[in-house]
Amino acid sequence: MDVAYQLLQVITTPLALPLLLLVPLLLLLASTSRRSRHGSKQQLKRPVLPPSPPALPIIGHLHLVGDCPHVSLRSLAAKHDSGGLMLLRLGTVPNLVVSSPRAAQLVMRTHDHAFASRPTSRISDALLYGSSDIGFSPYGEHWRQLRRLVTTHLFSVKKVNSYRLARQDEVRLVMEKIREAVARCKSVDISEMMNTFANDIVCRAVSGKFFRAEGRNKLFRELIETNTSLIDGFNLEEYFPGLANVLGSLTSWFASNKAEKTHKIWDELLETIISDHEGRGRSSEQGHVVGGGVEQEETDFVDVLLSVQKEYGITRDHIKAILMDMFGAGTDTSSLVLELAMAELMRSPQLMTKLQVEVRENTPKGQEMVAQDDIASMTYLRAVVKETLRLHPPAPLLLPHICMVDCEVDGYTIPSGTRVIINEWAIGRDPESWEKAEEFMPERFLEGGSAAAVDFRGNDFQFVPFGAGRRICPGLNFGMATVEIMLANLVYCFDWELPAGMEKEDIDLTEVFGLTVHPKEKLILVPKPRGSVGHAA
């Protein structure tokens, strides 16, 4: 404000007019002089942007992005990119599309420091306490603190293992429901059942056993779906930020109003849960010790966050934002992997049989269910999960990154403020990285297979379903433990058939795009007593 006031004083003096008339002439002469002296050098220094297809006025390349953006972006990249990098203008916003393992490594490792932030979003600000969560928070000290907190106290291998009995208990409840369906000769909606299971696992880890008795798990599911639809929806600011600023009150009112109403419901629910934990003093009663000692089975995320609140300098709102992340990120991703793994196995009965043989041979004879410790020797089970993640990543475009500073990537200049879209779906189907890339082949991940050494923990850039670098998903260990124990028990406890009149070729994997990608059709299967349909007993 001081600079603006001083400038105003200068231009209102009596001598200002001739000086103002002289300034353009001086600037023109200086510019001409520089061009004459450094013309050739300036040409060399002109920024080289990544390749880009022809754009339309105003909308840019929006017309080229179809109903399944991950698919249309891969097709565009095949025609117009260079080395896996392509620049698109979606509305007025530049977007760098990353479509190859090499390009992914450049963005998420070589230049990770430049691309570690997230774009701003009015919707995430409204829902997530000013985007103060982990997933949507901009890169900085606050994000680093939260990241350190969850990796140390919520998602460490030790902490994930401490929930093994809770996972086993939730799996047992699902197996009981399926046995009821067997007794009544009923089919099972695998899509719905796996979504409910994944949500219940997360709810229990976050808030303890009492969530089910009070019916909160259903409310959590409804709120998660609302969050997803709001974040997925068309937001004018993402494509036309200048216009959104001018017309914000008209164009963003409906989305913002719904986001604020949803946030209020979340806030009341999370406040109740936190207050319950504080009132019962669960951490002290269960002998929970952060940083050492023995952790009890049912010490949940809320207990942990309250116990380290002062240590990490986080507010009550920060705790709520973290918890919202846990609910949102942990439900859809795990349930989709389970649903699609079962769909692919039903499409390839020989693979289902191979998995059942492994699981049943490596589970102690007479044991009712597969236990967590039994899974260690099940290499084909892990290969099936990996292949499902490769072919059907739940979030095919990951979460968007943003370039924080001008930087040069593979000889191209990436301007500050450029959004970054990492097309993990295209990377996981890159024919140069994967043999028979479009086929479901778990064997590729077994010893002796073409991808035996490839893993999803951020070091192999042809396979990054959880991202990589600073922004890699911190909950991948939790998610994988959830998926493996459920899939093992589904194929151990039952055999499976398709509904009458349906053939394996009829299983429809057509996708509906969103923050996560869902099959258009639900997966309905018929459970049978083990050994009743010709599979190995």
Q: Could you tell me which residues are annotated as the binding site for heme? A: 473
Helix axis angle, 379-391 to 476-493, nearest 10°: 120
Residue type (1 letter), 362: N
Dist CA 97 CA 71 (whole Å): 12
Residue type (1 letter), 370: V
Render 20-65 in DSSP notation, one character per residue.
HHHHHHHHHHHHHHHHHHHHHHHHHHS--PPP----BTTTBTGGG-
| Sequence-separated contacts (24+) of 333-336 with Cβ below 8 Å | 333/198, 333/394, 333/395, 333/479, 333/516, 334/194, 334/198, 334/201, 334/479, 334/482, 334/483, 335/191, 335/194, 335/195, 335/197, 335/198, 335/199, 336/392, 336/394, 336/516, 336/517, 336/518
Q: Please, what sign has the CA dihedral across residues 370, 374, 375, 377?
A: negative
HSE-up (13 A, CA, CB side) for residue 328: 28
DSSP H helical segments within 348-422, as ranges?
A: 349-361, 379-391
The residue assigned the tokens 């459920």 is 486
Q: Please, what sign has the CA dihedral across residues 270, 276, 277, 279?
A: positive
Q: Are 79 and 86 in contact (CB under 8 A)?
A: no
Q: Are 373 and 488 in contact (CB under 8 A)?
A: no
Secondary structure letter of residue 397 according to DSSP = T
Dist CA 349 CA 338 (whole Å): 16
- Residues belonging to the binding site are 473
Dist CA 222 CA 165 (whole Å): 27
Dist CA 517 CA 465 (whole Å): 13
SS3 content of the chain, % helix, strand, coil (to 5): 55, 10, 35
Q: Are 377 and 387 in contact (CB under 8 A)?
A: no
DSSP H or E stretch at residue 497: strand 494-497
- Residue 81: partners with Cβ closer than 8 Å, 6 or more residues away: 50, 51, 97, 99, 100
